[in-house]
Amino acid sequence: MRHFQERDLESAVAELKAAFRLSPNLLSAHVLVARMYLHIDEAAAAQDAIGRARRLGADPDITWPLRAKALYNQGKFDELLALTSQIAL
């Protein structure tokens, strides 16, 4: 992923979308694209990618912080509070 290494995140996201058409169950790619979406201020798209990763069995310890940031960036504070109430401290 040359674009990711060059910090061209928009192009890297496009590359991952093309990869998803060929193999939609690439768990780590969904997590990676969620992180990229957060970096380019696409929180709603990040939340969707995190949801796909979670459905594929992603580790909650990895997805929870990403999901929290996506909700925060969208101003979905009620959902964020509900999410934090699910966390066992």
Nearest to 49 by CA among 66, 73, 68: 66
At 20 the pLDDT is: 77
27 close to 56: Cβ distance less than 8 angstroms = yes
* Residue 57 DSSP symbol: T
50 close to 70: Cβ distance less than 8 angstroms = yes
- The 10s digit of each residue's pLDDT in 6-55 is 567 788 888 887 877 888 888 888 998 899 899 989 999 999 999 999 99
> Where exactly are the structural domains of the chain?
2-85
Q: Is the pTM of this model over 0.85?
A: no
Q: At the topology level of CATH, where does 2-85 sit?
A: 1.25.40
Q: Which two tokens stand for residue 10?
A: 């928009």
Please state, in angstroms and rounded to a whole number, the distance separating the CA atoms of residues 16 and 26: 10
